Amino acid sequence: MSHRPRKRFGQNFLHDPGTIDRILAAVAPRPGEHLVEIGPGQGAITASLLASGCRLDAVELDRDLVRRLQEGFGALPNFRLHSADALRFSFCTLQEGEEPLRIVGNLPYNISTPLLFHLLEESHCIRDMHFMLQREVVDRMAATPGSKSYGRLSVMLQVRCKVERLFAIGPGAFRPPPKVESAFVRLVPYREPPWPVADFELFSRLVSQAFSQRRKTLRNTLKGLLPPGTLESCGIDPGGRAEQLSPAQFVALANKAAN
């Protein structure tokens, strides 16, 4: 029985065998590893992951798809299915012993950014993450200072993860074809952050405020948040703009303000 993709769930089902092969090669699951698939949909990647011999937990919101997945894979001893909203799901509860989780998913475009931030809060139990996302989002995730795509998402992810853009995926790989290009990305949470943040709430607020009005200078956007002279003491030009600062410089500013 066919399943009609639901717009409210942002469903675009992967079906292209070549793309599936590239994804499996990038993830490279091994027997016994513990993987978690977010939004398995119709099981295009699920079957190949399970064939690798890994242990797989799958988190799916659509109840119709939950039934189909249970019928297709429920009898396998290395498969567990969770009917749940990934935005509210506690992924670390799946961890067994000290082995970190490996996360894989075709993330709906309408919830991709909040879901990434949700997963970052649980990054202590995650080894790596591989996602299909809107190409524009991946460009922002991996952007470097000074580029047009560089912004809040770039900084917030790069202080906690190594971000690697792997390859582009055309609309024809999905059914129905989305109106945007997609890309596949790898995130590896740092066990030892290269730029430790003293007060993450302050850091988050500073980054958000700095990018809230991109055309304004840092002197103006951060006025009232930083003590006078903080920018200069960190070697940062107050007349510069947020997109010119590296993640390390944002951390330095936040840590200076926290002291």
Supply the CATH number for residue 212's domain.
1.10.8.100
CB-hemisphere CA count at 13 Å for 66?
11
Residue 50's SS3 state is helix
Considering the domain architecture, whether residues 97 and 163 belong to the same structural domain is answered as yes
**Does the pLDDT at position 37 exceed 50?**
yes
Considering the domain architecture, whether residues 107 and 209 belong to the same structural domain is answered as no
pLDDT band at 179 (very low <50, low <70, confident <90, very high): confident
Considering the domain architecture, whether residues 126 and 68 belong to the same structural domain is answered as yes
* Whole-number pLDDT of residue 8: 44
Q: What percent of the chain has pLDDT over 70?
A: 96
* Whole-number pLDDT of residue 7: 43
Domain of 239 in residue numbering reads as 200-258
**Does the pLDDT at position 5 exceed 80?**
no
pLDDT band at 86 (very low <50, low <70, confident <90, very high): very high
Contact 161, 188 (CB under 8 A): yes
Considering the domain architecture, whether residues 217 and 183 belong to the same structural domain is answered as no
pLDDT band at 205 (very low <50, low <70, confident <90, very high): very high
**Distance (Å, whole) CA 168 – CA 19:** 10
pLDDT band at 2 (very low <50, low <70, confident <90, very high): very low
φ, ψ of residue 126 in degrees (nearest 5)? -120, 130
Considering the domain architecture, whether residues 35 and 145 belong to the same structural domain is answered as yes
Q: Look at the chain and report how many structural domains it folds into.
A: 2
CATH number of the domain encompassing residue 179: 3.40.50.150
Q: CB within 8 A of 33, min separation 6: which ones?
A: 54, 55, 102
Considering the domain architecture, whether residues 49 and 177 belong to the same structural domain is answered as yes
pLDDT band at 10 (very low <50, low <70, confident <90, very high): very low
**Does the pLDDT at position 219 exceed 70?**
yes
Going from the C-alpha of 235 to that of each of 81, 187, 242, the distances in angstroms are 51, 30, 14
Considering the domain architecture, whether residues 156 and 206 belong to the same structural domain is answered as no
* Whole-number pLDDT of residue 244: 96
Q: Where are the beta strands (DSSP E) in 139-250?
A: 161-169, 174-175, 182-189
pLDDT band at 175 (very low <50, low <70, confident <90, very high): confident
**Which strands form 55-60's sheet, in the order they lie side by side?**
79-83, 55-60, 34-38, 101-106, 126-134, 182-189, 161-169
pLDDT digits (tens, 9 = 90+) for 97-143: 999 999 999 888 788 999 999 999 999 999 999 999 999 999 999 99
The per-residue pLDDT of the chain, averaged, comes to: 92
